[in-house]
Homo-oligomer: A and B are copies of this chain.
Amino acid sequence: MSGNNKDFLKNRIYLDNAATTRVDERVIESMIPCFSEVYGNASSLHYFGTNAREVLETSRATIAQCMGARPDELFFTSSGTESNNWALKGIALANRNKGRHIIVSSIEHDCIMNTCKWLSEEGFSITYLPVDPHGIIDITALEEAINPKTILVSVMHANNEIGTIEPIEEVGRICKKHHVYFHSDACQSFGKIPIDVNKAGVDLLTINAHKIYGPKGIGALYIRKGVDIVPLLHGGGQESGLRSATENLPAIAGFAHASKLCFYDMKNEAERLSRLRWKLEEFISSNYEHAYVNGHPHQRLPGHLSFSFHGLEGETIRLLLLLDDMGIAVSAGSACSSNDKSNNASHVLQAIGLNPFEARGAIRVSLGRFNTEEEVDIFTDLLDKALKSLTSIFSGNQKSSLW
């Protein structure tokens, strides 16, 4: 079956790197010794334990360096979701006596949005910052929203659905001025564009590995020294007592190696992906007059393109399934909320001004390390075929008036 699977994969094109990525072979290689050799519990005193601890701390230092942080400010978690939950709940519970007001952007990932929903049920008040039609948060609204009860601002570094990069340095400056903690979810940007915790002025930063050709099941939370936070996972006291559970060594080693590979080649890779993305955008814009791009025209992630077709928004899932039949994997919005097939209207697309109908209609293409120009060309061909087949269903005619 594995052999067949490989043959089948050969003819498939994966353009959903914002959902998750294939683990780089070099990363897998870096993990294997931690399964079978350095397999001790990093909390054990003996050789197997100290050996594991060494890998743990080297990995921590590697990743911290990628964001200009001190190693003792980086805490491993199981995912971006856990890091985001921890940042918000941990700050909220530790600082509730100072105030119970939290500000987030209206285009955060579901794990921020649903954590906020829970916190509001627990008596916290949440302000959702508006964004402009390109998805950039309203900085004036941020400054106006801060009040003496505000304890935390959370604005993502780059959006998962539309790829827009937020002006987090400005957010950082405002938060510092008002003595409010600033958290940023950098799951989509880490390893793809530069991030420096000091320049950005963040107090907490969420990252994870599986978006950068590293393993699933590992993330981290940067917590600036002195930030008052309570643990989300209580237990044996690992991670300086702030995040308990046996350290996930293989994944941590893989995370570090994945980070290193991204940071060594970040500039070149960003240029390459931007070029491919631009080619794709040009194809779509010049061939389909009813097409429109979602997100910021240039302040955006390198390989990320979200686009829609006026009048075809209700048929996005059908289009995706057609493309999937042709061997192309792209997505509608984020992966997390997609598998119920209900295709709910995206809160991100609604925040940038689309109506609920339109907000069901985006196609997200996210290019990654393993994608080639040839694949982008095949994709445009097949997209065209799929669109023609789809519109002919509607119009009963090969030449639809829409296209």
Q: Mark A residues whose CB is within 8 Å of B.
A: 2, 5-6, 9, 12, 14, 16, 19-23, 25, 27-28, 32-33, 35-49, 53, 77-82, 84-85, 109-111, 114-115, 117-118, 210, 215-218, 230-238, 244-251, 317, 320-321, 323-324, 327-332, 334-341
Inter-chain contacts of A244 with B (CB < 8 A): 81, 110-111, 114, 336
Determine whether the beta carbon of A236 is less than 8 Å from that of B12.
no
Determine whether the beta carbon of A246 is less than 8 Å from that of B79.
yes
Inter-chain contacts of A20 with B (CB < 8 A): 39-41, 44, 246
With beta carbons under 8 angstroms apart, the residue of B2, B32, B251 that contacts A28 is B32
Query: Known contacts A28-B36, A111-B244; can you find 9 more A-B pairs with CB under 8 A?
Result: A6-B37, A9-B37, A42-B339, A45-B324, A81-B245, A82-B233, A82-B245, A85-B233, A236-B337
Determine whether the beta carbon of B33 is less than 8 Å from that of A25.
no
Tell me the nearest residue of chain B to A18, going by C-beta.
B41
Determine whether the beta carbon of A48 is less than 8 Å from that of B235.
no
Query: In whole angstroms, how far apart are the Cα atoms of A245 and B209 in the complex?
Result: 13
Determine whether the beta carbon of B110 is less than 8 Å from that of A47.
no
Inter-chain contacts of A336 with B (CB < 8 A): 43, 235-238, 244, 246
Inter-chain contacts of A218 with B (CB < 8 A): 217
State the Cβ distance, A74 to closest chain B Cβ, in Å. 17
Given A216-B251, A336-B43; A114-B9 close (CB under 8 Å): no
Inter-chain contacts of A9 with B (CB < 8 A): 37
Query: In whole angstroms, how far apart are the Cα atoms of A249 and B110 in the complex?
Result: 20
Query: In whole angstroms, how far apart are the Cα atoms of A334 and B33 in the complex?
Result: 24
Inter-chain contacts of A22 with B (CB < 8 A): 35-36, 39
Determine whether the beta carbon of A246 is less than 8 Å from that of B114.
no
With beta carbons under 8 angstroms apart, the residue of B40, B49, B236 that contacts A81 is B236
State the Cβ distance, A14 to closest chain B Cβ, in Å. 6
State the Cβ distance, A81 to closest chain B Cβ, in Å. 4
Query: In whole angstroms, how far apart are the Cα atoms of A233 and B234 in the complex?
Result: 14
Determine whether the beta carbon of A111 is less than 8 Å from that of B234.
yes
Determine whether the beta carbon of A235 is less than 8 Å from that of B115.
yes
Determine whether the beta carbon of B237 is less than 8 Å from that of A40.
no
State the Cβ distance, A245 to closest chain B Cβ, in Å. 4
Q: List 6 A-B contacts (CB under 8 A).
A: A23-B39, A25-B36, A46-B320, A49-B335, A117-B234, A235-B336
4 nearest A-B residue pairs (beta carbon): A236-B336, A111-B235, A78-B78, A217-B248
Tell me the nearest residue of chain B to A249, going by C-beta.
B216
Determine whether the beta carbon of A331 is less than 8 Å from that of B237.
no
Inter-chain contacts of A331 with B (CB < 8 A): 44-46
Inter-chain contacts of A39 with B (CB < 8 A): 20-23
Determine whether the beta carbon of B23 is less than 8 Å from that of A329.
no
Inter-chain contacts of A330 with B (CB < 8 A): 46
Inter-chain contacts of A42 with B (CB < 8 A): 339
Query: In whole angstroms, how far apart are the Cα atoms of A85 and B232 in the complex?
Result: 8
State the Cβ distance, A2 to closest chain B Cβ, in Å. 6
| Residue among A232, A327, A328 with the highest chain B CB neighbour number at 10 A | A232
Tell me the nearest residue of chain B to A339, going by C-beta.
B43
Query: In whole angstroms, how far apart are the Cα atoms of A174 and B61 in the complex?
Result: 50
Given A23-B35, A110-B244, A111-B244; A81-B43 close (CB under 8 Å): no
